[in-house]
Amino acid sequence: MQRWTIERPDRLTFGPVTELTVRIVAGRLAVLASDGPPMLEVSEVGPAPLTVTHDDGRLSVGHGDPTLKGVLGWLRPDRRSATLTLTAPRDCPVQVGVVSASAVLAGFENRTRVRSVSGDIVLDGVSGEISTETVSGTVESRALAGDLSFTSVAGELTVADGTPRRLRADTVAARITADLVLTPTGHVTVTSISGPVVVRLPADVDTDVVLRSSIGSITTGFGDLRCDGHPGARSVSGRLGGGMASVEVTTVSGDVTLLRGEPRPGGEES
Amino acid sequence: MSPVFRHGRLRLYLLKLLEESPRHGYEVIRLLQDRFLGVYSPSPGTIYPRLARLEEEGLVTHEVRDGKKVFTLTDKGRAELNARLDELAELEQEIADSVRDIAREVKEDVRETVRALRDELTRVARDIRRGEAAGRTAGRSEPRAEERRGPRRLFPPITVAWGRPPQELLDEGEQWAREWLRIWDQFWSGFGGTGAGGTREARDDRRAEYDAELGRMLADFVARIRREAAQAELDENTLTYCREALDDVAERIREALRG
């Protein structure tokens, strides 16, 4: 096992990395997939040093406590800040935990997990199994594919150009915006207490749809859905196209909007 | 990204790549792309003539394997590389800087895309609601959103393509589904017990694997039937028969799922 303690800006290059874990408190973090050599660049660090270990392909970069005991455990009054850029192979599983630091992740294809307390999360071109959990940080994503799970208390979630096989998004009070192309058996479940939910699907989508809201409004751009309106449990449901996929949105007071986009590029056949 | 390669530095970097291992031209191009995360994409028209020039100068040599030229660094090439080690370190620093720039660019770009999407969808949703309100007052209930929308892009352009061109990600249904399932299968089969969780996670992994397999079977089934249906004459009788057959199969599968 190799071990480094980093107290000033530095740059390290590593041998093969098969698993990556990064945990920092404050600052900025970028983790990019690359087929070049795995690399860590530390642009700012302090006052507390950063610990880096590389053990049998497992690379960990972080502040203090190297065990995975949840994010809140290491909320301490000191200011542990770092600005880091990492590159790792695209097939490498990545785990990131931040408290207030912002995190950018791009290009990974395996299992990607990001937890944040208040730090904003940006994801680009990530596929495989992706999960993000945040209290109040926003999650902004583009070109995600695969099995996506988002949990947020108050952090806004946006999925631009997503092609999920499965998407599960849960929030208490945050707005959820998703522009999706569904896979043939895609499964989308969105639940929100008070946050508004806006989902856009291609006009020629093949999916079953159920939209429910206790007191929020339900609006849809697809004319061929059936409305069941009785007070306390209103729902709009129906089948669009061939209906292999499934989309379910449930809110208590959040408004639900299902929009009809343009037909999928590439046409009818699926 | 071109400033990275000013003053003959591309030449230096080519020597470095060939020092790591003998490679063919295509591999060199791909490595350059990867190292710059797809942002710098040298064309074959840039790389092949340069390799030829390096060979004229005696810095590299090539042999033909499987019909492809594989380039190897010569001792003279290695000498030049060793003489320019300082410059190489500097170059690698610049590449690291450019990776940082890429990270910043990705972040700004995604945020811009997301902001545009949010604004656009909010506007469309508002238009639909207005349309519905107007429809109600006019005694109509049809939403009229479609004609109200202004010109817009379906997908914002993806400026950084992570190894695959975006149009391939958006490729048509069947092929796309297969591609995705392939990636998915690879992911699950290639993923050992990395988490600390142990048995529970392993069970979850297997469940997801079975679930993915079921999804794949369903998708294959639908694709196959659609293909065959496209060549057949469908009428009401056939449809009734198909519906009964499907109900029957669904019932049998349900029984199996219930165990």
pLDDT, average across residues A41-45 = 90
Residue B207 confidence class, pLDDT cut points 50, 70, 90: low
Instruction: Confirm if B143 and A223 have CB atoms less than 8 A apart.
Output: yes
Residue B87 confidence class, pLDDT cut points 50, 70, 90: confident
Instruction: Confirm if A207 and A247 have CB atoms less than 8 A apart.
Output: yes
Give the DSSP per-residue string, chain A: -EEEEE-S-EEEE-S--SEEEEEESEEEEEEEE-SS--EEEEEEEEES-EEEEEETTEEEEESS--S---SGGG--SS-EEEEEEEEE-TTS-EEEEESS-EEEEES--SEEEEEESS--EEEES--SEEEEEESS--EEEES-EEEEEEEESS--EEEEEEEEEEEEEEESS--EEEEE---TT-EEEEEESSS-EEEEE-TT--EEEEEEESSS-EEES-TT-EEE--TT-EEEEEEETT--EEEEEEESSS-EEEEE-PPPTT-S--
pLDDT, average across residues B140-158 = 36
Give the DSSP per-residue string, B115-130: HHHHHHHHHHHHHHHH
pLDDT, average across residues A214-237 = 80
The helix/strand/coil state of B239 is: helix
Q: CB pairs below 8 Å between A and B: how many? A: 210
Instruction: Confirm if A109 and A127 have CB atoms less than 8 A apart.
Output: yes
- pLDDT over 90, % of chain B: 14
| Nearest residue on chain B to A256, alpha-carbon basis | B125
| Shortest distance, CA A9 to any CA of chain B (angstroms) | 13
Chain A CB within 8 Å of residue B179 CB: no
pLDDT, average across residues A74-98 = 82
A124–B162 CB contact, under 8 Å: yes
In the predicted structure, residue B176 carries a pLDDT above the cut 50: no
pLDDT attached to residue A231: 57
pLDDT, average across residues B209-231 = 73
Residue B137 confidence class, pLDDT cut points 50, 70, 90: low
B218–A91 CB contact, under 8 Å: no
In the predicted structure, residue B154 carries a pLDDT above the cut 80: no
**Spatial CA neighbour of A198 closest among A180, A182, A214, A183:** A180
pLDDT, average across residues B206-211 = 67
Residue B208 confidence class, pLDDT cut points 50, 70, 90: low
B118–A128 CB contact, under 8 Å: no
pLDDT, average across residues A203-213 = 92
- B72 is written with which tokens? 């190897």
Query: What's the mean pLDDT when you consider all of chain B?
Result: 70
Q: 10 Å Cβ neighbour count for B68?
A: 12
Query: What's the mean pLDDT when you consider all of chain A?
Result: 87
| Shortest distance, CA A219 to any CA of chain B (angstroms) | 7
**Spatial CA neighbour of A152 closest among A126, A127, A178:** A178
Q: 10 Å Cβ neighbour count for A241?
A: 18
Distance between CA atoms of B106 and B159, rounded to whole angstroms? Answer: 9
Residue B133 confidence class, pLDDT cut points 50, 70, 90: low
pLDDT, average across residues A22-48 = 87
pLDDT attached to residue A47: 78
In the predicted structure, residue B43 carries a pLDDT above the cut 80: no
B180–A146 CB contact, under 8 Å: yes
Q: Poorest-confidence range of A46-50, A163-167, B228-232? A: B228-232
Residue B246 confidence class, pLDDT cut points 50, 70, 90: confident
- B26 is written with which tokens? 């295509």
| Neighboring chain B residues of A125 at a CB cutoff of 8 Å | 158, 160-162
pLDDT attached to residue A150: 95
pLDDT, average across residues B154-170 = 35
Chain A CB within 8 Å of residue B70 CB: no
End-to-end CA distance of chain B: 59
In the predicted structure, residue A69 carries a pLDDT above the cut 70: no
pLDDT attached to residue B202: 54
Q: For chain B, percent helix, then strand, then coil, each to nearest 5? A: 70, 5, 25
Backbone angles phi, psi at A185, to 5 degrees: -115, 30
In the predicted structure, residue B110 carries a pLDDT above the cut 80: yes
pLDDT, average across residues B39-53 = 78
**Spatial CA neighbour of B109 closest among A108, A124, A156:** A124
Chain A CB within 8 Å of residue B221 CB: no
Stated pTM of the model: 0.65
Backbone angles phi, psi at A207, to 5 degrees: -160, 155
pLDDT, average across residues A108-124 = 92
pLDDT attached to residue B249: 86
pLDDT attached to residue B181: 45
Q: Poorest-confidence range of A86-95, A146-155, B144-153? A: B144-153
pLDDT attached to residue B180: 38
Out of B113, B122, B146, name the one closest to residue A142 (CB).
Answer: B113
Residue whose token pair is 């975006």? B166
pLDDT attached to residue B76: 93
pLDDT attached to residue A232: 56
- B157 is written with which tokens? 């352009």
Interface test with A, best of B162, B176, B185, B188 (most A CBs within 10 A): B162
pLDDT, average across residues B217-232 = 76
Instruction: Confirm if A42 and A9 have CB atoms less than 8 A apart.
Output: yes
| Nearest residue on chain B to A206, alpha-carbon basis | B173
- B223 is written with which tokens? 């694709």
Query: Cβ neighbours of residue B138 under 8 Å, at least 6 residues apart?
Result: none
Chain A CB within 8 Å of residue B124 CB: yes
The residue with greater pLDDT, B165 or A104, is: A104
pLDDT attached to residue B26: 84
In the predicted structure, residue B48 carries a pLDDT above the cut 50: yes
In the predicted structure, residue A173 carries a pLDDT above the cut 50: yes
Backbone angles phi, psi at A57, to 5 degrees: 90, -15
Residue type for position B204? D
pLDDT attached to residue B170: 36
Chain A CB within 8 Å of residue B249 CB: no
Out of B102, B174, B184, name the one closest to residue A32 (CB).
Answer: B102
